[in-house]
Amino acid sequence: MKPIQLYNTRTRKEETFVPLEEGVVRMYTCGPTVYGPQHIGNLRSQLFPDLLKRFFLSEGFEVRHVVNVTDVGHLEDDSDRGEDKMEAAARESGERAEVIAARWTEHWRANREAVNCLPPDVVCKASEHIPQQIELALELERKGHTYRLPDGIYFDISTFPAYADLAQLDLAGQVDGRRIEEVEGKRNPADFAIWKFAPAGVRRQQEWDSPWGRGFPGWHLECTAMSSLYLGAPFDIHTAGIDLATVHHSNELAQAECAWDVHPWVNFWMHNEFLDFGGAKMSKSLRNVLTLNDLADSGFEPLAFRYFFLNAHYRQQQTFTEEALAGAARGYRRLLAAAVELREAPGESDPERAAPYRSRFRDALAEDLNAPRALAVAWEVARSEALSPADRRDLLLGFDGVLGLSLDTAVPAPVPRESDPRIDALVAEREAARRSKDWATADRIRDELTAEGIVIEDTTDGARWRRE
């Protein structure tokens, strides 16, 4: 059996995964900032660790999975300037910050459930772990890693020589090009706030007393404090989108390794790439988000989006278009239809006959979670004439424990009827020809449409057409 190989952002190479504790995987995932809805790009950063978790479970590991919810401290830019996103949302809406946070946390939970993400063992909120964050900040202060500015307590990255290693940062370039905009008084452009003071004369909804005065934690403090609280230090795997590696994860790591004298704090840093929307950035702050609910309103079932995700490797950018999602939806419906036919297949499967397929599926995932190759094995099983129906049933439903497509329980959704005025007219013309027994005309129209990749299905309710 091949060892599990995973790509480690920290070392920039694939490495054999060996857990710190035999039989147990401790994994932390950066979750949502809950000032608005999560878009489908955000959802990819939840689908990826879910696939990883499911694979580990299929390998017999116990998985302890922790996901955070950021409901305080995430400012409007990464330079420690601007307003807290939760406070800004509360000011704009007139609602309490905790009401907004509760609504969008539930929205995030519902989206995860809709695409079959397994529930985390712990969902931890930043606002409920202020004492742990203050204690972490105090430890950094005691060890000489911080300094005070008028607006807060800052981490001095010059006290941590390995700061640039995780994201391979060009710190000299940041100084020369001011790539991270400076707060006045910063010793280094990449220094970051671990505690921000409440502005004078402004009563924030979210602020707490601290040894340095009333204020609120910096964004990065929460993940360091909460991940280590629930998983210990060090732990096995930290996941998130690739955009968090440069600032957020570099800051998390610096805090942990300086406070607790542990290296490496995390054995494997794993990052998924973006969804590509034709070069456009999707952002809640830009108010151009596309959510899972939007896809549902357009007729796409949530698991079609999970199937779409499985068609690309997590470290590759994946281009999202409605056409691509429609293709994934058709693929999912066909695979589900094959599974439905096999659910009640009689008899027992032959382990020897099934073993090569099971091995290839497992080895695809063991090679840095190669979901497209694993999905291809599932399709090979669904179509195989060399396997009995019982073999195909057990293999497909077994694979689905990792793929998470509900092949054992889902009910195929009605196939949406496509509409195109030209094709609709030709199908209607063919129907009229069939009624008048003009078979030559009917056959000619069918052949023309077949050449375009259009399939006509004659049903008791009339002819339907779809694209192959």
Question: Which residues, 6 or more positions from 294, have their beta carbon under 8 angstroms from its beta carbon?
Answer: none
* pLDDT reported for residue 286: 54
pLDDT one-digit tens code per residue, 227-263: 999 999 999 999 999 999 999 999 999 999 999 999 9
Flag residues of the chain having pLDDT under 70: 79, 174-182, 280-288, 414-418, 459-461, 468
Question: Which residues, 6 or more positions from 304, have their beta carbon under 8 angstroms from its beta carbon?
Answer: 295, 325, 328, 329, 332, 333
Q: Which long-range contacts (CB under 8 A, 24 or more apart) does 20-24 make?
A: 20/234, 20/235, 20/236, 20/267, 23/60, 23/61, 23/62, 24/61, 24/62, 24/63, 24/64
What does each C-alpha distance from 45 to 73, 93, 112, 166, 324 come to in angstroms? 21, 28, 11, 19, 19
The Cα 399–Cα 60 span in angstroms is: 14
* pLDDT reported for residue 23: 98
pLDDT one-digit tens code per residue, 3-49: 999 999 999 999 999 999 999 999 999 999 999 999 999 999 999 99
The answer to whether 153 and 255 are in contact (CB under 8 A) is no
* pLDDT reported for residue 328: 96
